[in-house]
Amino acid sequence: MTYVKKSHTKLYLAVILITIIAVAGAAVAYSILTARQYEAGVKAGDTFTYSLKGYVQLTGLDATMTEGFDVYNNTDYYKVTITDVANKTVVTMKCDWKFLNGTLVTSTQTIDVASGNKTDNYGFWAIYPANLNEADLLRPSGFDGQIVNNTDPSGSRALNSWHINNQFYDTKDPTQSTLMYDYRDIFFDRETGMLVSLSNYQIFNNPQKTEQIEWNLVDTSVWQV
């Protein structure tokens, strides 16, 4: 009778596999438990009122103001009222745009502050998750990759800011030499994630002109402006 030594290779492999699975499972559980949870810093009933201004500098011989641009200087106020916050990051708001002639235009916007997804592509968008820090993604679960460029804690309320510049060309110009340079500086309250000020410069090269839009927070129910 011949004896063959019993191999434990399969047993060893099984033990190793079980150990790997256990360690991986523990790592996933730990990452879930310790992952940063993003949420909106506003609540239903919060209000934010802005002044809007537009400035135009026409330097080109044939330059004219962009159609509809004068709407900014015909604005009395733009008021955002938070009506609901769901699933920690999905904010619904009512936006009242009041004009100097007494006309009031009301719209509704719902935006996920973590992803940036919104129901109205042309509606109010400048609200972000609460308590972001410098170098954090503005939309942690979004795709634009924009980050907080600076956090300033020196004032009565800490401000976050981000800045961007882009170049666009007129699709009607096959040479792609008719350009518009777009510069934006956005400051928002760190605690609530809500817009405090926005400056948007658009510089055109043909014909030459500059158009500037300014948003500034003038009143809110959350703190003393």
- What integer pLDDT is reported at residue 21 of this predicted model? 55
| Residues 132 and 162 sit within 8 Å (Cβ to Cβ) | no
Q: Is the dihedral of CA 61, 62, 65, 66 positive or negative?
A: negative
- What integer pLDDT is reported at residue 35 of this predicted model? 61
SS3 of 107, please?
A: strand
**Residues shown for the chain:** 225
188 vs 182: CA distance, rounded Å: 19
pLDDT band at 30 (very low <50, low <70, confident <90, very high): very low
Please write the tens of the pLDDT for every residue from 127-140.
999 999 999 999 99
With respect to residue 99, please indicate whether it lies within any of the assigned structural domains.
yes
Please write the tens of the pLDDT for every residue from 41-66.
999 999 999 999 999 999 999 999 99
Please write the tens of the pLDDT for every residue from 187-199.
999 999 999 999 9
pLDDT band at 17 (very low <50, low <70, confident <90, very high): low
Question: What residues does 185 pair with on adjacent strands?
Answer: 163, 199
Mean pLDDT calculated for residue range 9-35: 47
Q: Is the pLDDT of residue 27 over 90?
A: no
Please write the tens of the pLDDT for every residue from 98-117.
999 999 999 999 999 999 99
CA-based max dimension of the chain: 108
With respect to residue 225, please indicate whether it lies within any of the assigned structural domains.
no
31 vs 18: CA distance, rounded Å: 20
Count the domains in the chain: 1
Mean pLDDT calculated for residue range 147-173: 95
Which residue would you say has higher pLDDT here, 26 or 33?
Answer: 26
pLDDT band at 9 (very low <50, low <70, confident <90, very high): low
Prior bond of 207 cis (ω within 30°): yes
Mean pLDDT calculated for residue range 149-175: 95
Q: Is the pLDDT of residue 2 over 60?
A: no
With respect to residue 12, please indicate whether it lies within any of the assigned structural domains.
no
- What integer pLDDT is reported at residue 6 of this predicted model? 38
With respect to residue 63, please indicate whether it lies within any of the assigned structural domains.
yes
With respect to residue 165, please indicate whether it lies within any of the assigned structural domains.
yes
Q: Is 135 exposed, middle or buried (0-12, 13-18, 19+ CB in 10 A)?
A: exposed
Helix then strand then coil, % of the chain, to nearest 5: 15, 45, 45
With respect to residue 54, please indicate whether it lies within any of the assigned structural domains.
yes
With respect to residue 32, please indicate whether it lies within any of the assigned structural domains.
no
Q: Is the pLDDT of residue 29 over 80?
A: no
- List the one residue out of 107, 98, 53 whose CA is nearest residue 215: 53
Give the range of the structural domain holding residue 207, as residue numbers without chain letter: 47-220
The tokens for 57 are 């500098």
pTM score: 0.83
Query: Chain centroid to CA 160: how far?
Result: 12
Give the β-pairing of 195-205 and 208-220: antiparallel
| Residues 160 and 151 sit within 8 Å (Cβ to Cβ) | yes
With respect to residue 183, please indicate whether it lies within any of the assigned structural domains.
yes
H-helix or E-strand containing 204?
Answer: strand 195-205
Mean pLDDT for the chain? 89
pLDDT band at 36 (very low <50, low <70, confident <90, very high): confident
Q: Is the pLDDT of residue 163 over 60?
A: yes
The tokens for 152 are 């300033």
- What integer pLDDT is reported at residue 24 of this predicted model? 47
| Residues 198 and 214 sit within 8 Å (Cβ to Cβ) | yes
